[in-house]
Chains A and B, each alone.
Chain A
């Protein structure tokens, strides 16, 4: 193939692959956000939870040599962040935005310090062992599907599996019903004899676990090291995907893939030599996903948030 010619099939394959890579952390985090927000707790802390997850994923893999233990650490630390967010905003009825912002700032500082403490580095950690990719040899030669799924991180498959699981939990189990009720009208849930705080606490912790997993994908799923501020706003894009996806699992999947596609498009353009003429516009290209988010949110008007979102439930007043 000569330079200057564009192999359409290859390009589509690369965009598909980069879309999946970019979409996976967004969707995982957005699913986490969904649990929290459907229960009535705003979780802008996703960004911070992801960052902590990314750090602990790398730390776990670095010290044990087993990246799956890194994943485990990431989920636990994400859950802990969720616990803190829950304690402040659910138990102590603090402002959810302030609590979330606090966690973001804490995570930014803490991870920078830990990067120094563990690796003695200021920017990027030493390389750690990432999660091995699942290679499906017969797929490798197939156009489009080959680049996309021929060699892909197991976390991508886990993400796809989580969509129906989350849907089932939310719509078919009593926990899901209570969670949705807590987000719509907590006083109704209370009068049905269910402890609103417990439901919300579990939801926020679950939210943190998923965000932690999303972070770990960045450091040891797709990459193989932790770097400072490596989440770079993905937590907020996940929140946008959540709104874009109307707070439903399949909506989150579609929205996440769309935002992932914008991100993937950017990467694909940067790595395809045939599109070299676009290089001078590199800085502009990097704006694509963020501009896309703003435009998409501007167009979407019909998403209906959970009614009681952002309001702490105070019993004596909530009647």
Chain B
């Protein structure tokens, strides 16, 4: 899709738009032909205003566009060759240093907002807007550029169910207005609700295109994965034991110094999955970071069994038995340029058997067993990595977790998202945690990998691990958890039994509306 939008260049092949073959050198070409894209990670600059973001690249000036085109034509008719090109850049340069006409842009944004029921304050800064509103800005941007082929990459990943409904209504009206919409998603219900035709891609090739009327969710899933997929996570009833992770009246601040977690109390029991539902930015990240020692706890306590881990170092917390699957496997979960082998032992590297205070200059794999006993001691414990142990251990983990790779020395960067996430999971599980904090463990993974991760979570639960699952994917929280806590503005809005609640109720709770007025903790 990034190729179609001109962000990436293609190696071979052809793209035709309205029957004409096109070659995109940059997104500018795509925009000119009326293609607009909403990226999965929004292309908005938080420190700029709505207007500035919308007009970026097509800034209105006080001189109208037609006058500028007029001037350009004049130039083209009177000059040629080098002078024409030079003249064009001079005219372009003059455009760039003229004052921008903010007023007309703001009016245009208001007009688009009113026509499409996408209200927004043009002067607001992006960083002050909710995720739903940010997406609205992205859509306004496309309309402002007069795009009529819209590409939406995973547009619903960060929205509440109600916001998704709103978005789909908007897209419906666009379709009726004659616009083409390409919706990219890994949630199967969405194309079934909205699309006319559905194409399935797997490993970079087209598996098939079907009419919506002639297919079903199950059939699509099978096309995506290549085998039948079980949708309901197979799991037995939980047998929760003693509380293993206790959070008492927790207060945590966010990066801006504002209170993000405002007095949360929770208990996770052995052999239980507690799901945290909520729209992103309601304190999930801060909660998870506070538990795992990555963020300072202002007030309140966190206990693992009988040990107080409040404001302890991440290493201490990990030793206590807390495993952590971070929300972003690229930034926190992996060191992408490290090998698979190294990534698998990160965090355990300072312990037996991965390191010791004896250095073996002649590894037995190269020099045979006879010289293996030669070793140089060090006064500092665990100062040398134990290469043979690491290789053996990571080899076992790769097999057990079915990580698809060619070589243990390969950098983690080269693997697919699903296999990268398997490395993270394999590493955490290798340390035998008592408590697992899983933050968005399946984000961006395909149906097959998601299914796998869910199975692992349930298996760990059955082995008695207490799991705190934070996810923006409501389906996931509902199908995997044994209890669901809804987080809204840093507080627990409600705790529900997944069997006795539904998407509507959770959606309302996530949006901060009181249902049943009753509050549990």
Contacts and interface: CB of A to CB of B under 8 A. Distances in A.
Given A169-B97, A181-B56, A191 B44 contact: no
Interface in A87-135: none
Contacts, number: 83
A191 B61 contact: no
A174 B68 CA distance: 15
Contacts of A266: none
B254 interface: no
B235 interface: no
Contact of B43 (A168, A173, A192, A195): A192
A175 interface: yes
A194 B8 contact: no
A57 B45 CA distance: 40
A190 B55 CA distance: 13
A283 B521 CA distance: 67
A185 B43 contact: yes
B267 interface: no
A174 B59 CA distance: 6
A285 B490 CA distance: 53
Given A191-B5, A315-B8, A319-B7, A173 B97 contact: yes
Nearest to B61: A174
A189 B56 contact: yes
Given A168-B99, A177-B52, A185-B45, 17 more contacts: A172-B100, A173-B97, A174-B100, A175-B97, A181-B45, A188-B44, A189-B56, A190-B7, A190-B26, A191-B5, A192-B31, A193-B57, A193-B58, A194-B28, A194-B57, A195-B26, A195-B28
Contacts of B7: 187, 190-191, 315, 319
A194 B56 contact: yes
23 contacts: A172-B99, A174-B61, A175-B96, A177-B52, A177-B59, A180-B48, A181-B45, A181-B56, A184-B46, A184-B48, A188-B45, A190-B27, A191-B39, A191-B43, A192-B57, A192-B58, A193-B28, A193-B31, A193-B57, A194-B56, A194-B57, A315-B8, A319-B8
Contacts of B57: 178, 189, 192-194
Given A173-B98, A174-B100, A316-B8, A187 B28 contact: no
A177 B57 CA distance: 9
A187 B43 CA distance: 7
Interface in B15-73: 26-32, 37, 39, 43-48, 52, 55-59, 61
B2 A174 contact: no
A180 B5 CA distance: 23
Interface of B: 2, 5, 7-9, 26-32, 37, 39, 43-48, 52, 55-59, 61, 95-100
Nearest to A194: B57
Interface in A171-210: 172-175, 177-178, 180-181, 184-185, 187-195
Contacts of B39: 191
A6 B94 CA distance: 55
Nearest to A188: B43
Residue among B29, B30, B47, B98 with most chain A CB within 10 A: B47
Nearest to B51: A177
A181 B99 CA distance: 17
A315 B98 CA distance: 28
A204 to B, nearest CB: 16
B95 A174 contact: yes
Contacts of B28: 193-195
Given A174-B61, A181-B48, A188-B43, A319 B26 contact: no
Contacts of B97: 169, 173, 175
Contacts of A181: 45, 48, 56
Nearest to A185: B45
Contacts of B30: 193
Given A175-B96, A177-B100, A319-B8, A188 B27 contact: no
Given A181-B56, A187-B43, A191-B7, A173 B27 contact: no
Nearest to B27: A193
Nearest to B46: A184
A173 B55 CA distance: 12
B2 A319 contact: yes
Contacts of A191: 5, 7, 27, 37, 39, 43
